[in-house]
């Protein structure tokens, strides 16, 4: 049995024969997707960005989650009757005879009161200074379990944050991709928010299948 927090990219690649690709059509389509943004959302994001600029080097992981990541996720609004955003809920799956399980810091999954099938794994909010563990590996481990739960019917999406940097990920069968970092203390914050809104569009379609 492997806990998500124990996993690294090296360990997962060796254990499950995974391969990281430089480009993935699914990731590129997600990152380049279009979504409307209201004047109100832009103003709120500017306030969030200023708060991050002032605190990013001093916040611990919990403070980063409460003061910045959580509010941005809430503004993107993943709460519907078909799927919802859940935090620190235990889930897992058997991947090639090995149990992978843990509590992602966040995920979007089908279900309203409790998660059923995860579409998006948001693993590991890492502080700017002296982060612990391999957030990319931890995220990928949760995505592997989610892929198993979803019976490989569609790609699985993920993201991890290190201080002000956001990295987006996709997994299809045994290949995965990781985006370049989007720095939320710059105008990248608008791209981050757009990508989250595009994710909601994607998940809405998946939830209807």
Cα gap 164→171, rounded to integer Å: 23
pLDDT level of residue 131 (50, 70, 90 thresholds): low
Question: Chain centroid to CA 135: how far?
Answer: 11
Stretch (H or E) spanning 135: helix 135-149
Bigger pLDDT: 200 or 128? 200
The CA-atom distances, in angstroms, between 166 and each of 43, 69, 126, 145, 209 are 20, 10, 10, 22, 29
Longest CA–CA span in the chain (Å) reads 50
User: What does the chain come to in residues?
Assistant: 209
In angstroms, the Cα distances linking 134 to 52, 87, 171 are 23, 19, 17
- Condensed to tens digits (0 to 9), the pLDDT of residues 13-70 reads 999 999 999 999 999 999 999 999 999 999 999 999 999 999 999 998 889 999 999 9
Provide the pLDDT for residue 94: 95
pLDDT at 61: 87
Lowest mean pLDDT across 8-12, 88-92, 122-126, 147-151: 122-126
CB 41 within 8 A of CB 73: no
Q: Domains in the chain and their CATH numbers?
A: 2-33+48-207 (3.90.1570)
pLDDT the model gives residue 67: 95
What average pLDDT does range 117-124 have in this prediction?
Answer: 86
Nearest in space to 78 (alpha carbons), one of 121, 27, 34: 121
Put simply, whether the predicted model's pTM sits higher than 0.85 gets the answer yes
Residue 126, pLDDT > 80, answer no
pLDDT in tens, 56-105: 999 988 899 999 999 999 999 999 999 999 999 999 999 999 999 999 99
User: How many Cα atoms sit within 13 Å of 185 on the Cβ side?
Assistant: 13
For residue range 160-209, what is the model confidence (pLDDT) as tens digits? 998 899 999 999 999 999 999 999 999 999 999 999 999 999 999 998 86
């Amino acid at each position: 049995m492997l806990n998500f927090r124990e996993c690294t990219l090296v360990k997962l690649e060796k254990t499950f024969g995974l391969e990281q690709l430089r480009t993935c059509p699914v990731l590129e389509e997600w990152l380049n997707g279009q979504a409307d943004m209201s004047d109100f959302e832009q103003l709120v994001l500017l306030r969030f960005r200023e708060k991050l600029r002032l605190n990013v080097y001093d916040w611990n992981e919990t403070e980063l989650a409460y003061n910045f990541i959580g509010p941005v996720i809430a503004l993107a609004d993943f709460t519907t009757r078909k799927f919802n955003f859940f935090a620190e809920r235990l889930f897992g799956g058997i991947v090639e005879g090995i149990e992978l399980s843990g509590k992602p810091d966040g995920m979007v999954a089908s279900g309203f009161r409790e998660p059923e099938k995860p579409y998006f794994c948001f693993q590991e909010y890492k502080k700017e200074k002296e982060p612990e563990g391999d957030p990319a590996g931890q995220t990928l481990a949760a995505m592997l379990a989610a892929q198993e739960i979803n019976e490989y019917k569609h790609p699985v999406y993920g993201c991890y944050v290190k201080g002000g940097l956001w990295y987006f990920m996709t997994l299809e069968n045994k290949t995965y991709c990781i985006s370049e970092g989007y720095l939320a203390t710059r105008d990248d914050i608008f791209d981050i928010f757009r990508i989250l809104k595009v994710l909601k569009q994607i998940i809405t379609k998946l939830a209807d299948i």
